[in-house]
Amino acid sequence: MSVETLENAGRSWPEHWQRVSLADAGRWMSGGTPSTSNEAYWGGDIPWISGASMKQFRITDSERCVTRFGAENGSRLVDKGAVLFIVRGMSLKSEFRIGVTQREVAFGQDCKALVPDDGIDPYYLAYAMRVLTPTILRMVEETSHGTGRLDTNRLSALEIGVPPLSEQRDIVAANDAFERRIGDLERVAQKRSTLLSAAVSALLRSQGSSGMTLGTMMVSCDPGITLGAHRAPQKRAAGYLRVANVRMGWIDTSDVASLESTSNDRPRYELEVGDVLVVEGHANPEQIGRTALVGPAEEGLLYQNHLFRLRFDRNEVLPEFAMLWLNSEAVRSYWISRCATSSGLYTINSRLLADAPFPVVPIEEQRKIVETWRTGIRAVDSLHGQIAKLRTIQQGVVEDFLSGRTRVTRT
């Protein structure tokens, strides 16, 4: 392991630490994809990790698996304790995915593996690389296909500080303590979400559909803007919501795309607080027609044509109640039994939407159901707030440990 001491490029670590370039931190390996036309290569018991499947820091499984024959003919194998990270893909535009293998896996060409040398803990190495995410993302280049590509020569030249192995493991243990606490809170939040969903579902089931349809209860149902080359953002860029932004019961605004707007777009397609958005189609039948409510954060955005915007007379139908009902088991069963599929994509149209069952519920009863939901959501949101705060504290503390500014105190 080639090392230096003291400072380089404005960074320094304690004198007893080693300065190590990522190129010298271990053995680098490139992955690959076995031929998909050879059935003998696929369907085995070895997870094949790709950019799309690397979603957890502790890498254990993948939706696609290869046989050992396949791994040896087109891919690469690494054992437990290898650091895997993404070097090509759309995700590189916003995040640097990295993790540590928990078992033997194969991996694709969108990934690189770094098998650490003796004296470097794999988790310490992964944490030290992950803390460099802002620097790494600035290295990402865009290919002609629009995906991100990471120059591994530049990446491997980055340096990390490496303390003695005992200190590395103390830092890993301190980070794991944060992860355990965060994991406990996440499990509580998930349990409360499940209980809330069950409670609201029970309230909705008690209403029945009353033989009425959504079309008789809504004021309007409008699809959004049809995209095309002429909509590439130029002089009048405007944010718009896509299918990916509309989740079941909430809107994800972490990645809002832009389009070129015209003077006629805002009167027709601008979203208002209380608008209800319904997804037109999805490859997963369980996700057909998933519905979310537009809030203050989304007000003023536009929306694409694969979403329906519903509006109601709020003296008769509360938008929150409409969202809850359209996400209910009764309506999901209706979609699954009637929706059409084309090339693996299940879709609904405006007529099918209008014919969906909808209960006639007194406004006061709607308010009670909505308030039950709001109370539960506030409790879950409070837990997510605690988790976010703990994540911020964790990041600062671990960065201090990795820089040597703070030492782990054993108790």
What percentage of the chain reaches a pLDDT higher than 90?
74
pLDDT at 6: 32
Length of the chain: 411
| pLDDT over 90 (residue 336) | no
Identify the structural domains of the chain with CATH numbers, from first to last: 18-162 (3.90.220.20), 164-204+361-411 (1.10.287), 208-359 (3.90.220.10)
Inter-residue contact 44 to 70 (CB < 8 Å) = yes
The DSSP annotation for 115-167 comes to: EEPTTS-HHHHHHHHHTTHHHHHHTEEE-TTS-EEE-HHHHHH-EEEE--HHH
220 is written with which tokens? Answer: 């309007």
Over 50: is that where the pLDDT of 36 sits? yes
Does the structure show a pLDDT above 50 at 303? Answer: yes
- pLDDT for 198-244, tens place per residue? 999 888 888 765 678 999 999 999 999 999 888 988 888 999 999 99
What is the per-residue pLDDT across 156-179, written as a single tens digit (0 to 9) for each?
A: 999 999 999 999 999 999 999 999
Residue 7 has pLDDT above 80, yes or no: no
pTM of the model: 0.73
Q: Are 293 and 319 in contact (CB under 8 A)?
A: yes
- The residue among 119, 140, 33, 124 whose CA lies nearest residue 83 is 124
Handedness of CA 108, 111, 116, 122 (dihedral sign): negative
In terms of C-beta density within 10 A (0-12 exposed, 13-18 middle, 19 or more buried), how is residue 85 classed?
buried
- Give me the percent of the chain exceeding a pLDDT of 70: 95
Give the per-residue pLDDT at 37.
Answer: 93
Cα angle: 9, vertex 15, 21; to 5 degrees: 45
Mean pLDDT of 301-317: 96
- Mean pLDDT for the stretch of residues 362-374: 94
CA distance 395 to 139: 22
> Looking at per-residue confidence, does 336 or 2 come out higher?
336
